[in-house]
Amino acid sequence: MISVSERDYITKGVDVSIRADGRSRLDFRELVLETGMITQASGSCRVTLDGGTDILVGVKVEVGSIEPEVEAEEADILEDMEQMDQDDGITMVKDKDRGRIICNVECSPSATRIFEPRDIEDMCNEYSQFMNRVLNGSHGGVDLKALCIIPGSTCWILNIDVLVLDYGGNLLDAIFMATRGALHNTRIPRATVEQSDGRVEFDIADEETEIIRGWEDVPLCVSLNKIGYRHIVDAAPLEELCSSARLTVAVNRRGNLCALQKGGHGGIEPSLLAEMVQTAKQIGQTLLKRQDAALREEEERIAAGKDPIGFGAASRH
Amino acid sequence: MSRLEIISPEGLRVDGRRPLELRRVNSRTAVLSQADGSAYIEQGNTKCLAAVYGPREPTKRAALLHDRALINVEYSVASFSSGERKQKLRRDRRLMEIASTIKRTFENVILTTTFPRSEIDIYLQVLQIDGGALHTAINAATLALVDAGIPMTDYVCACSAGYVNNQAILDLNYLEESAEIPTLTVALLPKSGKITMLGLESRLHLDKLEPVIQLASDGCKQLKENIDATIRESTKSLAKTILQ
């Protein structure tokens, strides 16, 4: 819910490129990134956007069969994937030599009281499906073939569980940022395949681990919100309420466009659309650079054996 | 009994603690932006986040109480929190039971009659489990309630204790909990020493009950000092921002 005067204030501010928190239209908020705080997970990352949004991602790897058991939920994902492949015009026959990524976005009830629980559930489902499509797609980055243990039978499954701890606008961008960070942090046990008299067996090492190949190529999302005749990046909760349309663009470090999704009820003019995609691409590149720098710092911190700060920096008083 | 040695001949436990030692506690308040009060607590490797909303108008009109506030507790566990990944069920009975236990624990402590016809929500999110999730969640809820400024007669502090090798041990971790050691969880009001919650889910000799409860109570009192220090510190920093 937003009042008429609030809406007016925000729209006029966006028009002259001054937003309520002092940013200009295309400024991204300060972000804090931390990895490896959940020791029980194979990889974890927490991303906090200044003034709200707080995302925790935990990746758990497990050994599974390449042919997914047809469970209700997984069948949905598979169907979606097939549909997408048809849309792309790529004939990705169900490859028997690939691992899988299963994403699940969950919103902790503590995160917000603005929305109805049912709306939150819908939103989480939409984000989960979007992530599943992007990460399992041809430009998802992660080398799915490297996740295969025995072609045709066994593979690694990456369970990416996203937990929204606090809502402060622009969830999707933060979710992708945290996911990429968590994949950077993930270590998979080394699996060695042995062939003995016709039978293929594999052995999982206790100590040796491998990184996820291709995490660098995982795209980041940039969501642009159209307010009035202008568009802004990294919207705060009030700005999201004023926005007439949202455009989410996923870009990877090569500058390729990996996914595009339009949300919201308003329309976007074709000329503006092109401009928005261009802007998103540029912002995506700077975001990727910022994140890579932050991840390098994290690597140094972990190498130095320092404990993560956890929720230390987050006190808001 | 598992083969695992719970207390070594030198008198040390699996994680290097002495039998009567608590795990490292690390807590903070006001960690979330949207909630009226929030807190984060780490007891060893068990990590919990709590958020309190309210007092406010009840979302369900039917649940409204005319003489006091309604307390609503939701307890959830992150799917990556434990060793095995668990898919979250929509209505997990175990989680619901824990939530109602916590609700009952707090109903007597919060001055609910101050806010008739309103609702207080306590949301607990366990991020990582290494034993003692219930008592960690109760401590987190206490911190978040104080942070939200909800009047209470006292803190509620909770701790667990077990009994093994003729010795009571304090604040069990996951390995100890899963080794079939009788584990007792106690929540008490430190000022009066009254016990508000007590749970034991395995066999323990009646003669041993008293020392185990005593040990858990001592643990609660130690935790109270810890929680109190966190609250005093956050209040000081809050006062500073007001005086500026």
* Residue B238 to chain A, least CA–CA distance (Å): 6
**Among B residues 28-47, those touching chain A with beta carbons less than 8 Å apart:** 28-35, 38, 40, 42, 45, 47
What does the buried/exposed string (b/e) look like for B30-42 if buried means 16 or more CB atoms within 10 Å of the residue's CB?
Answer: bbbbbbbbbbbbb
Q: What is the structure's pLDDT at A285?
A: 94
Give dist(CA B90, CA B85) in Å, integer.
Answer: 16
- Which has the closest alpha carbon to A58: B192, B142, B126? B126
pLDDT computed for residue A302 by the predictor: 86
Torsion sign across C-alpha atoms B227, B232, B237, B239? positive
Distance CA A134, CA A54 (A): 22
**Average pLDDT of chain A?**
85
* Cβ contacts of B9 within 8 Å, gap of 6 or more: none
A133 or A82: which leads in pLDDT: A133
Number of domains composing chain B: 1
With CA atoms as reference, report the closest residue to A62 among A154, A131, A150: A154
Residue A242 has pLDDT above 50, yes or no: yes
Tens digit of pLDDT for each residue in A260-273? 999 888 889 999 99
Place of tokens 């109570």: B217
How far is it, in rounded angstroms, from Cα A156 to Cα A115? 36
Residue A265: predicted pLDDT: 87
Token digits of residue B67: 């003489």
Domain A4-311 annotated CATH 3.30.230.70:
yes
Cβ–Cβ of B49/A108 closer than 8 Å? Answer: yes
Nearest to B73 by CA among B109, B32, B41: B109
Backbone angles phi, psi at A138, to 5 degrees: -70, -20
Claim: this prediction has a pTM higher than 0.95: no
B-facing residues of A in 2-61 (CB < 8 A) are 38-41, 44, 51-52, 54, 56, 58-60
Fill in the amino acid letter for B146. Answer: V
Q: Which residues of A touch B79 (CB under 8 A)?
A: 58, 60, 104, 106, 159, 161
Partners of B75 in the beta sheet?
A: B124
CA nearest to A160 within chain B:
B80
3-state helix, strand, coil in chain B (%, to 5): 30, 30, 40
At A94, is the pLDDT very low, low, confident or very high (cuts 50, 70, 90)? low
Cβ distance B40 to A59 less than 8 Å, yes or no, reads no
The two three-digit tokens of residue B91, written as one number: 């209505």
- Tell me if residue A48 falls in helix, strand or coil: strand
How far is Cα A63 from Cα A75, in angstroms, rounded to an integer? 18
In a structure prediction context, what are the per-residue pLDDT tens digits for chain B, which is 244 residues long? 445 678 888 888 888 899 999 999 999 998 888 899 999 999 999 999 999 998 988 888 888 889 999 999 999 998 888 877 777 666 788 899 999 999 999 998 999 999 999 999 999 999 999 988 999 999 999 999 999 999 999 999 999 999 988 889 999 999 888 888 899 999 999 999 899 999 998 888 899 999 999 999 999 999 999 999 999 999 998 899 888 7
Q: Spell A117-139 as b/e; 16+ CB within 10 A means b.
A: eeebeebbeebbebbbbbbbbeb
**Positive or negative torsion for Cα A45, A47, A53, A54:** positive
Residues of B in contact with A167 (CB under 8 A): 34
Contact assignment for A315 to B123 by CB distance below 8 Å: no
**Partner A contacted by B115 (CB < 8 A):** no
Rounded distance between C-alpha atoms, residue A125 and residue B28, angstroms = 32
CATH classification at residue B167: 3.30.230.70
Are residues A55 and A47 in contact, defined by beta-carbon separation less than 8 angstroms? yes
Residue A211 backbone dihedrals phi, psi, to 5 degrees? -85, 170
| Number of H-type helices and E-type strands within chain B | 4, 9
B-contacting residues in A 152-211 (Cβ below 8 Å): 159, 161, 163, 165-168
Q: Is the peptide bond before B55 cis (omega within 30 degrees of 0)?
A: yes
- Cα–Cα dist A14/A228, whole Å: 8
Q: How many helices (H) and strands (E) does chain A have?
A: 6, 12
Query: Of A95-104, A285-294, B142-151, B234-243, which range is least confident?
Result: A95-104
Q: Please report, as a single letter, which amino acid is at residue A162.
A: V
Contacts A316 to B, Cβ<8 Å: 30-33
Terminal alpha carbon distance of chain A: 26
Burial class (CB within 10 angstroms; exposed 0-12, middle 13-18, buried 19+) of A244: middle
C-beta pairs of A288-296 under 8 Å, 24+ apart in sequence: A288/A220, A288/A251, A288/A252, A288/A253, A290/A31, A291/A33, A291/A177, A291/A180, A291/A181, A291/A220, A292/A216, A292/A253, A294/A31, A294/A33, A294/A181, A295/A33, A295/A35, A295/A181, A295/A184
pLDDT at position A15 is 92
Domain residues for B70?
3-243
Instruction: With cut-offs at 50, 70 and 90, classify the pLDDT of residue A50.
Output: confident
The ipTM of this complex is: 0.87
Give every CB contact of residue A98 below 8 A, 6+ residues apart in sequence.
Answer: A66, A144, A145, A147, A148, A155
Lowest mean pLDDT among A37-41, A87-91, A216-220: A87-91
> How does pLDDT run across A65-79, given as a tens digit for each residue?
887 654 445 555 555
Domain locations along chain A: 4-311
